[in-house]
Amino acid sequence: MKRPRDKAAAENAVNVVNKRVIGYFDDDVFTSLTELNDAIEERVREINHDIRRADDTTRWERFNTEERELLGSLPDAGFEDVEWKELKAARNYHVTADTQRYSVPFALAGKLLRVRLTSSRVTVFDGNDMLCEHPRLTGRKGQYSTLPEHVPPQHRNIDGLWFRRWFTDRARSVGPATVTVIEQILDGQVIEAQGYLSCQNILAGWAKTTGNGWRRPAKSS
């Protein structure tokens, strides 16, 4: 909590800015933000270095003799804006924040989790307990950040219902170009299982469009 003396000093500083900076330029006209900033910078320098107070000292002299040695060093990392969200972990054990996907322990799929976002990091909490942290993804939508320890065994060993051959066999019934697309999707994932849903959507879309299930469309005569 600020002491009354600190509060008075802060209020006095605001009054100085109002009277000696804002009021000083009251009748001036500036044609650019750069011009205005330069004028403010020069005025602040005059206030701190040139204008003497009742005790014949300048603000800069008082700072050097009384306050400088009390200052601590700046932190190594700069301040970052923080945003908090409550996000549900999907069945693929990832939470989606701003179109990007970040893994959590697979046992937490379906659970509502707290997520802290900064410009550089995404940190996931279960209540007040930190679960994991990811570098924040930018650029192309729908990217994955997946930590190996979050992946369930069936996805590591691809022994579940879906696996590469399951998709390539069905893509082959459509045509070689579709096989190429499916293989590119699967090869482009850190964890191959991350591409299964995209592959399923492509093949299901083709089946819906043709109405032929997994059968090759009839050739036109």
Q: Pick from 112, 134, 151: which residue ends a domain?
A: 151
Q: Cβ(205)–Cβ(171) under 8 Å? A: no
Question: Could you tell me if 88 and 137 lie in one domain?
Answer: yes
Q: What is the mean pLDDT of residues 59-69?
A: 90
What is the phi/psi pair of residue 71, to 5°?
Answer: -75, 140
25 conformational bin, left if phi > 0, alpha if psi -120 to 50, beta if neither: alpha
99 conformational bin, left if phi > 0, alpha if psi -120 to 50, beta if neither: left
Tell whether 195 is covered by a domain. yes
What separation, in Å, do the N-terminal and C-terminal C-alpha atoms of the chain show? 86
Looking at residue 133, its amino acid is E
Tell whether 215 is covered by a domain. no
Tell whether 217 is covered by a domain. no
- Which residues, 6+ apart, have CB-to-CB distance to 85 below 8 Å? 97, 114, 115, 117
- If you average pLDDT over every residue of the chain, what do you get? 83
> What are the tens digits of pLDDT across the range 72-121?
888 887 788 999 999 999 887 899 999 999 999 989 989 999 999 999 99
Q: Which domain holds residue 163?
A: 156-210
How many structural domains does the chain have? 3
Tell whether 17 is covered by a domain. yes
Q: Cβ(142)–Cβ(100) under 8 Å? A: yes
Q: Pick from 70, 101, 121: which residue ends a domain?
A: 70
Q: What does pTM read for this prediction?
A: 0.47
Question: Could you tell me if 141 and 187 lie in one domain?
Answer: no
Helical H segments across 72-195, by residue range = 153-156, 164-172, 176-187
